Amino acid sequence: MWYNILIIMGVIAPQIGKSLAELRGNIVLGMLIVGLIYIVIGLFGFINKIMVVFTPAVKGTFFLLMGLQISGSIMRGMLGIYPLGGTVNITGAILFIAIVAVIIWISLRQRGFLQSIGIFIGAMAGWVVAFFIGIAERPQFSSSAISLPDLWPWGMPQFDFGITVILLIVGFFTLSNLVASIATFSELIDKKAVNKDYSRATIITGLGNLLAGFFALIGFVPFASSIGFARVTGVASRRPFFIGALLIMLLGLFPLVGSLFVAIPSQVGFAVILIMFCQLLSVAFMEYRKIYFDNRIGFIVGVSLLLGVGTMFIPPESMELMPLFVKSFVGNGLTVGLLICVLLEQVLLPKK
């Protein structure tokens, strides 16, 4: 959602009489405010009031729509036409299928350490093969050896009421990722999450958004597909996560590393994404299994899914005349389906 709204703002900035320099300053301040509000919500336990709306129906709809929304990108990545289009690459598509097959075979047939690194083996082997068959581009290396992050690279913060409100609303909807990710992951590891876990996670998310404002990054969103990653690898321990996070931060100081990863062909990256989102869809079905599907739930889930998926097929150009506030949400099928599901279950069709 953060990515989409920032792109939309950048595209329509001239239409609302803003220069990109001014818009960047507005986004920076808005992101800082979102981060501070997240921290306040976590410190005072307000997240507990929000959690009541995330029922199995809402969580199942959320994960299912997330998987369906990424499916188009996965297909374009497999065919080698992501993100700018072009001609279908048959060789790349065959490589994509081979990578997926290798990862699935390791995940289902192997155990222990080999199973836990199945995704890594498939991705690295696919990258090497892609390089030799001419699909992977040669990295464009930077001349500098070390690059430190700059403070305020988008300029100093500037206040704009409309931009700030939009970012606050987007920030509220990203709480759905937070709550759904924690609740589902706690079931995966058979350890029930308590209110303190949600509050601490909200504070950390707020800190992430503060850093996004300081260093001009995309807003922080808990990566729900990590649940699929944990299911495939069988690893849900904190220690590898912390070590991996520290390594990524250190590697981020070296432009050479970034140049290497930018050169990964889309077929390799989306093969890994396909594996993770397969498991995420299974999580959605597990949530639905907790529900007794009477007529009421059938309408709630059915209307939410049909309108959410249908929104994904609306041509972007048909919403050019809509206000920015409307465009940022109507253009996102995940948001539309999630909002409809919550409204139907909690307001329009409440359980008697």
Least confident of 13-17, 54-58, 85-89, 229-233: 13-17
Asked if the model's pLDDT at residue 338 lies above 70, the reply is yes
User: What confidence score (pLDDT) does residue 246 get?
Assistant: 93
Residue 50 is predicted with a pLDDT of: 77
In a domain, 23, yes or no: yes
Question: How many CA atoms are closer than 13 Å to the CA of 264, on its beta-carbon side?
Answer: 21
Task: Flag whether 325 is in a domain.
Answer: no
Q: Which DSSP letter does residue 237 get?
A: -
The pLDDT of residue 12 is: 65
Considering only CA atoms, which of 184, 170, 262 is closest in space to residue 221?
Answer: 170
For residues 165-182, give the mean pLDDT.
78
Q: How remote is the C-alpha of 273 from its chain's centroid?
A: 11
CA-based torsion, 156, 161, 167, 168: positive or negative: positive
Q: How many domains does the chain have?
A: 1
User: Which of 150-159, 271-280, 300-309 holds the top average pLDDT?
Assistant: 300-309
- In this prediction, residue 104 has a pLDDT band, given cuts at 50, 70 and 90, of very high
pLDDT at 247: 92
- pLDDT at residue 8 in the model: 66
Q: Is position 297 within any domain? A: yes
Residue 28 corresponds to which tokens in the numbers above?
Answer: 């920076």
R_g of the chain, CA atoms, integer Å = 21
CB 276 within 8 A of CB 232: yes
Confirm whether 219 is domain-assigned. Answer: yes
User: CA-CA distance, 140 to 259, in Å (whole number)?
Assistant: 6
Domain span at 114? 2-307
Q: Identify whether 346 is part of a domain.
A: no
Judge if the upstream peptide bond of residue 83 is cis by omega within 30 degrees of 0: yes
**For residue range 18-43, what is the model confidence (pLDDT) as tens digits?**
788 888 888 899 899 999 999 999 89
Please tell me the predicted confidence (pLDDT) of residue 290: 87
- Distance between CA atoms of 183 and 192, rounded to whole angstroms? 8
* pLDDT above 90: residue 169: no
Q: What are the phi and psi torsion angles at 336 (to 5°)?
A: -60, -50
Q: Is 41 within the bounds of a domain?
A: yes
Tell me, yes or no, whether 171 lies in a domain. yes
Classify residue 195: in a domain, yes or no. Answer: yes
Cα separation, 196 vs 187, in Å, equals: 16
For the record, the structure tokens of 195 come out as 């209110």
pTM listed for this prediction? 0.73
